[in-house]
């Protein structure tokens, strides 16, 4: 895989700001241009979970936009990208995208990605899920989105929380064809040493 192009990274208010931070770091290391938009609720989660502010995340991105800047380049289909990763994705954000009734740049950018038939990966962070959540996920999958909850991969033998975050982010970036060293791969990095 060859890394090139640009990707939109959205951060919504669900728990899991560490996923967004690690994705931005990995995308920068991979040479992918990033366009960041953060919701107000996400700013609170960053502060609670990581002791960081939106400006700390913006420093990791090539371009950053205010949540209400609906005239930003990422709000237009003519602005070409590989797609958009929302990490983490709250149920509210997911629901806005599913209905097409968007109220912020974050959900408008996601709507644009869907209408242009680009890759939209939603790291939906909620549990348990009721039937309405599941129906919304089904609707989004039918529209072309990929629902990729941040579920730990224990086969990768994580030793730390960072290992879990790395594996999850690495697999999410795989969905865009972006190669990083984050994910341990079955049959390549794993299982070989167990065969005898």
pLDDT at 1: 45
For residues 151 and 75, give the distance between their C-alpha atoms in angstroms, rounded to a whole number. Answer: 30
* Per-residue pLDDT tens over the stretch 154-174: 999 999 999 999 999 999 999
- pLDDT value at position 3? 56
CATH topology for the 6-194 domain: Rossmann fold (3.40.50)
DSSP β-ladder status, 6-11 and 83-89 = parallel
Using CA atoms, how far apart are residues 147 and 189, in angstroms rounded to an integer?
25
The model's pTM is 0.94
**Of 183, 166, 175, residue with least CA distance to 86:** 175
User: Which bin fits 157, alpha (ψ -120 to 50), beta or left (φ > 0)?
Assistant: left
pLDDT-derived band at 196, boundaries 50, 70, 90: very low
What's the start-to-end Cα distance of the chain, in Å?
Answer: 31
- Do residues 84 and 109 make contact, with C-beta atoms less than 8 angstroms apart? yes
Gyration radius (Cα) of the chain, Å = 16
Give 87's contacts (C-beta < 8 A, 6+ positions apart): 9, 10, 11, 16, 19, 20, 23, 121, 123, 150, 169, 172
pLDDT tens digits for 81-118? 999 999 999 999 999 999 999 999 999 999 999 999 99
For residue 109, give Cα distances in angstroms to 3, 7, 84, 132, 193: 22, 11, 8, 23, 44
pLDDT per residue as tens digits for the range 11-64: 999 999 999 999 999 999 999 999 999 999 999 999 999 999 999 999 999 999
What does the pLDDT read at residue 189? 82
Count the neighbouring beta carbons within 10 Å of the beta carbon of residue 28. 14
Determine what percent of the chain is predicted with pLDDT higher than 70: 95
Q: What pLDDT does residue 73 have?
A: 98
Determine what percent of the chain is predicted with pLDDT higher than 90.
Answer: 91
Give the start-to-end residue ranges of the domains of the chain: 6-194
């Amino acid at each position: 895989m060859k890394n090139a192009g640009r990707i939109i990274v959205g951060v919504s208010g669900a728990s899991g700001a560490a996923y967004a931070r690690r994705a931005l770091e990995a995308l920068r290391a991979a040479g992918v241009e990033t366009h960041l938009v953060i919701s107000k609720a996400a700013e609170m989660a960053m502060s609670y979970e990581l002791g960081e502010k939106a400006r700390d995340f913006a420093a990791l991105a090539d371009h950053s936009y205010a949540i209400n800047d609906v005239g930003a380049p990422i709000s237009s289909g003519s602005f070409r990208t590989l797609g958009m990763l929302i990490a983490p994705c709250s149920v509210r954000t997911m629901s806005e995208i599913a209905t097409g009734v968007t109220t912020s740049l974050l959900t408008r950018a996601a709507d644009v990605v869907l209408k242009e038939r680009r890759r939209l990966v939603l790291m939906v962070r909620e549990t348990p899920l009721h039937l309405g959540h599941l129906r919304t996920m089904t609707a989004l999958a039918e529209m072309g989105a990929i629902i990729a909850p941040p579920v730990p991969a224990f086969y990768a033998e994580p030793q730390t929380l960072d290992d879990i975050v790395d594996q999850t982010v690495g697999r999410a970036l795989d969905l865009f064809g972006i190669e990083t060293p984050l994910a341990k791969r079955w049959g390549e990095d794993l299982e070989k040493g167990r065969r005898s």
